[in-house]
Amino acid sequence: MSRAILVGLGPRSYQVRVGSGLIDAAGEAIAPLMKRRRTAIVSDETVWGLHGARLMGALTRAGIAATPIVVPPGEQTKSFEGLAEITDRLLALELDRGDVIVAFGGGVVGDLAGFAAAIYKRGIDFVQIPTTLLAQVDSSVGGKTAIDTPRGKNLVGAFHQPRLVLADLDVLSSLPEREMRCGYAEVIKYGLLGDFGFFEWLEANGAAVLAREPQALAHAVARCVAMKAEIVEQDETEQGRRALLNLGHTFGHALEAETGYGTALLHGEGVAAGMGLAFRFSAAQGLCEAQEAARASAAIAAAGLPTRLAEISAEPFAAERLVRHMAQDKKAQAGRLTFILARRLGEAFVAKDVDAEAVAAFLKSEGAV
């Protein structure tokens, strides 16, 4: 049983299918998108070891010849070096513009394979099969693709929409608890930025989502995808409303940069801490009530996620260094900081020209030096 959600972009519209058994049926879903039944599957070592045989079997049954390109897991793979390796492998396979790439993994694989698809021979189609909760509810939908650089996260990339997204909920059974919590950070983000009713539902049912209770998980993933589809349809290239999806990301990306994009702070954990900081900064600026910020942080913390700097590192962060990272953020314009802030639970907005000194002072009040 699955649900299909349309991302309506005219001739580039595509479905996001959410449900069970989608990997086993992937061949018959992908075959109609192909001019010839040939593909390269970009995956990481962990996902491929767990689920690669299932996907290969599904593609083989549909008469699709597939070649795996397996990369190391982790954010460090989402780099110029990782991009060069994948594009070289694609060229060696002599794929052409009529072929399709399959991104089979979490957000790192989806971003990396999607960007490779965007630039390979000036653009080749790709399909997303996200295998983490974070990728299913967020990064696989909407066409954002990118790599990281030493100067910041996702600073080099392209908008390149997939042809199809298959979000198989069964695959989440093998997801480590920490990764499940990271994905939940992006789930609760949708409630915090634009759907107070969904936020309240998560307050009551978040534990069931984290426990992978089928009905709760299916509802949460489908609701997030539907919200993102609506936003992407209105603002595909993030000129306006789509920026709201970056709630928590300006603070979070800065924290990720300071911690080296490693296992000390995973992306979802950075987003969780960033959302807590964004709500408290909003309260400090008189934009929302303090109790609203406290309730947001409590809901995030209930999932075992960080909301404060001290929960990330025993050593204090340097406020000025964090602000410098924020100045490299994609939303920054003409040297001015842009944040997604909140007026209340379920109502976020884009705040441009935020004073860097005010941000630094706030971070010091939160324990930075």
> Quick check: 96 and 38 in contact, CB under 8 A?
no
Of 37, 36, 27, which is closest to residue 57 (Cα–Cα)?
27
For 48, 145, 167, 272, the CA distances from 76, given in Å and listed in that order, are: 18, 15, 24, 21
- The amino acid present at 314, given as its one-letter code, is A
Residue 34 has what DSSP assignment?
-
Distance between CA atoms of residues 143 and 306, nearest Å: 28
> Quick check: 12 and 160 in contact, CB under 8 A?
no
Which residues are tagged catalytic? Answer: 122, 144, 186, 228, 238, 242, 246, 249, 253, 267
Distance between CA atoms of residues 136 and 153, nearest Å: 20
For the chain, the residue count is 369
Which DSSP string corresponds to 127-158?
EEEE-SHHIIIIITSS-EEEEEETTEEEEEEE
